[in-house]
Amino acid sequence: MIRNGHGAAGGAERPSPAGRRAVRVWCDGCYDMVHYGHSNQLRQARAMGDYLIVGVHTDEEIAKHKGPPVFTQEERYKMVQAIKWVDEVVPAAPYVTTLETLDKYNCDFCVHGNDITLTVDGRDTYEEVKQAGRYRECKRTQGVSTTDLVGRMLLVTKAHHSSQEMSSEYREYADSFGKCPGGRNPWTGVSQFLQTSQKIIQFASGKEPQPGETVIYVAGAFDLFHIGHVDFLEKVYRLADRPYVIAGLHFDQEVNRYKGKNYPIMNLHERTLSVLACRYVSEVVIGAPYAVTAELLGHFKVDLVCHGKTEIVPDRDGSDPYQEPKRRGIFYQIDSGSDLTTDLIVQRIIKNRLEYEARNQKKEAKELAFLEATRQQEMQLVGEGD
């Protein structure tokens, strides 16, 4: 069991109104390739109670019911732990959610998105808790799925960048990836993410730096936000007693300039939400300049500037983007201790491409069969009621 003792959600149950017991909420899942859709589900779940416990399944359980996970269980536990609305992580949670599990962790109810999760034999994994009235539903985030992200990596086009029109190739992919005979599943399929100011407000802390806090600035792509990023940001966060970490996110075109290929895999709007969900980050600059200038340092009253061990690519004019903080003696290179990069994740996916495509098609076939069975059942009940 892993408790969170810092960050926005902070490890202790929120004070509940006088005389009311704190409401404990349970969520569980694979949390493989954690993205802002997962974070948004956990944000909504946390808002339904005072203390959020998240159960994460093992590699073995996921492989049995769904197919091979992209990330190892240790990586997945760590990713969920870094989401600021999570108070506690339970490793090796059972794939099927039972009343026994809810009672064991003293949880009032469990929360899941309005999609379906099925066992290897096609049964709803939340059947028992639904029947007992200890199930709540939250809205699934439109415009993102693990399936979609995997597809972007395999396609090697730039259609997902924020200023690009959807190409015919990406449109064809969006209509067919993970599709199986019999129609399109509304959950596994691909859709386009639409950023709104409301979504940013929901994810943002809304707090400004306070007197006595150390303002630390970091910049980068933070693409496919992963544990390499988490390890780096945690190290940065621990540099000060009272840190206020600002993450500057570069525009898609800037990232593509220094990363090449079809990077970034996630566009700027998506990367913004992914980073805002991290408990070590207080603020995000959406579309930060590549060079860390005197103006930027002055505007945010920056005390320290940090960068990881990855290569620093020169600016367009050949200059060092960190020359100003280096001149001031406030630049620090941080070794996160993790060798995981966005490139390595993409390599993992490409290496297992056929397995992942087969997994998505199998998952969609199972979900469509469940939908059809539910529809038939409803029609039968309507028929009986006539």
pTM score of the predicted model? 0.81
Nearby residues of 234 by Cβ (< 8 Å), 6 or more positions away = 82, 280
pLDDT of residue 190: 41
Nearby residues of 89 by Cβ (< 8 Å), 6 or more positions away = 1, 2, 4, 53, 54, 55, 56, 77, 80, 81
Task: Count CB-CB contacts under 10 A for residue 218.
Answer: 24
- Give the C-alpha separation, 287 to 318, whole Å: 20
Region at 19 (left for phi over 0; alpha for psi -120 to 50; beta for the rest): left
Q: To 10 degrees, what angle do helices 268-276 and 36-47 make?
A: 40
Q: To 10 degrees, what angle do helices 146-155 and 168-176 make?
A: 140
Contacts within 8 Å (CB) and 24+ apart, 237-241: 237/6, 237/280, 239/214, 239/304, 239/306, 239/332, 239/334, 240/213, 240/214, 240/216, 240/303, 240/304, 241/214
Alpha-helix residue ranges (DSSP H) falling in the chain: 36-47, 59-65, 73-81, 99-104, 127-131, 146-155, 168-176, 197-203, 227-237, 252-259, 268-276, 294-299, 323-328, 342-351, 353-385
pLDDT tens series, the chain, 386 aa = 777 654 444 444 555 555 679 999 999 999 988 899 999 999 999 999 999 999 999 999 988 877 778 899 999 999 999 999 999 999 999 988 999 999 999 999 999 987 666 666 667 888 889 999 999 999 888 777 777 787 788 776 566 666 555 455 444 444 443 333 343 333 334 446 678 898 899 999 999 999 999 999 999 999 999 999 999 999 999 999 999 999 999 999 999 999 998 899 999 999 999 999 999 999 999 999 999 999 999 999 999 999 999 999 999 999 999 999 999 999 999 999 999 999 898 888 877 776 766 666 766 676 677 667 767 777 777 666 65
